[in-house]
Structure 1
Amino acid sequence: MIRKAVLGDLNNIMEIIKETIEEMHSYNNYQWDENYPQSKDFANDIEKGDLYVDDINGQVAGFICVNYVEPDEYNGLDWSFDEKAMVIHRMAVNFNCRNKGIGISLMKFAEELAVANGVKYLKTDTYSLNTKMNSLFKKLDFKLIGEMSFLGKEKPFYCYDKLLSRSI
């Protein structure tokens, strides 16, 4: 069941972050590290009501942040549409829950949330070396629209968008 995250979820979320960072670093993806994301980032998401968790029998199986916040680096990119968009940030799946469709479920939830809020357009980005997220975006028909420099990282971030059907 996907629900809004609460502060009581932070320890589980940070454990997922720790495992995800270790895995990312194992294939030279340094998108996330000890500086980002931190507990305060998720606490802020929770306070704003932007963080959602997939709760399976009381276990946080994964999480996703969805809001209207576009990084300044999005300016100047050749987005497919010039209209209000919801933006997907900070998503990860519990290592013990992988390969069970959790990531797809969270992304579909983001699409449904946007449509429920009268928004038919999603934007997102991920580090070019994050092969798993890049594959997920492509699998779910997100369109690669360009790349940007972000967070002082050596490699570019790939930016994606998707026009949603009103009948999701």
Structure 2
Amino acid sequence: MRINNSTKADIKEIFRLYKIATDFQKTRFTVHWPEFELELVENEINEKRQWKLEIDGRIACVWATTFDDPQIWEERNSDPSVYIHRIATNPDFRGQNLVAEIVNWAKDYAANNGKRFIRMDTVGDNTKLIAYYGKCGFEYLGQLKLRNSEGLPAHYDNATVSLFEIRLK
């Protein structure tokens, strides 16, 4: 198992995984990911904020990070944090606790970058996902109605998000 930055050569697979995740979301939830812009992913790759976890040379999952997320985290954005977004898992690797692997990686990544928190959000009140993130070490902080979603992907429009964090020691 290896975690590295995604490259432009990975873009086709990243979008394939996003489509699979979105199609799954559509079968279970009223809110689902929109079709993300190519420019968004290219910028994340160029800024070394798009990641991949590989198993046996295959991409098992992808995600993006940022150190700044003011529209979602509002006044808490000033806390030194790494924010994780858009985890998408290859169906061939489901059930392998990959979010727990991402958490282990994120603890080192956050510490190496002077951050004290690892944070995530999900749109809505998905009780199964809330429980799963709890098993992966996240504290559920509750829900927040977004005040300003301008510039965020479409699924955040007029959304209520569930917030999660891990406080590093």
What's the TM-score once normalised by structure 1's chain length? 0.83
After superposition, residues 1-168 of structure 1 pair within 5 angstroms as 1-34=2-35, 37-76=36-75, 83-131=79-127, 133-150=129-146, 151-153=156-158, 156-165=160-169
Mapped partners of 1:60, 1:164: distance in 2: 28
Q: What letter is aligned with 1:32?
A: W
Residue identity opposite 2:157 in structure 1: G
Query: Using the alignment, how far apart are the partners of 2:88 and 2:71 within structure 1?
Result: 23
Question: CA 1:82 to 1:152, structure 2 compared with 1: closer, same or farther past 3 Å?
Answer: closer
SS in 2 for 1:69: coil
Is contact 1:93-1:103 (8 Å) kept? no
Residues 82-112 of structure 1: CA deviation (Å, up to 9, x unaligned): 6311111121111111011222212221122
Percent identity reads 19
Relative to the length of structure 2, the TM-score reads: 0.82
Q: Deviations over 1:101-149 (max 9, x none)?
A: 2222122211221012222212221112445542332112322223223
Look up the match of 2:150. none
Higher helix content, 1 or 2: 2
Does the residue aligned with 2:53 lie in a helix, a strand or coil? strand
- Runs of 5+ consecutive residues of structure 1 not aligned to the other structure: none
Aligned residues: 159
CA RMSD for the aligned pairs?
2.1
- 1:13 aligned counterpart, secondary structure: helix
Separation in 2, partners of 1:27, 1:49: 32
AA aligned opposite 1:65: A
Alpha-carbon spacing, 1:71–1:133, altered in 2? closer, same or farther (3 Å): farther
Question: How far has the Cα of 1:24 moved from its partner?
Answer: 0.6
SS at match of 2:108: helix
In structure 1, the residue matched to 2:151 is: none
SS in 2 for 1:75: helix
Contact 2:139–2:166 under 8 Å retained in 1:
yes
| TM-superposed deviation, 1:60 | 1.1
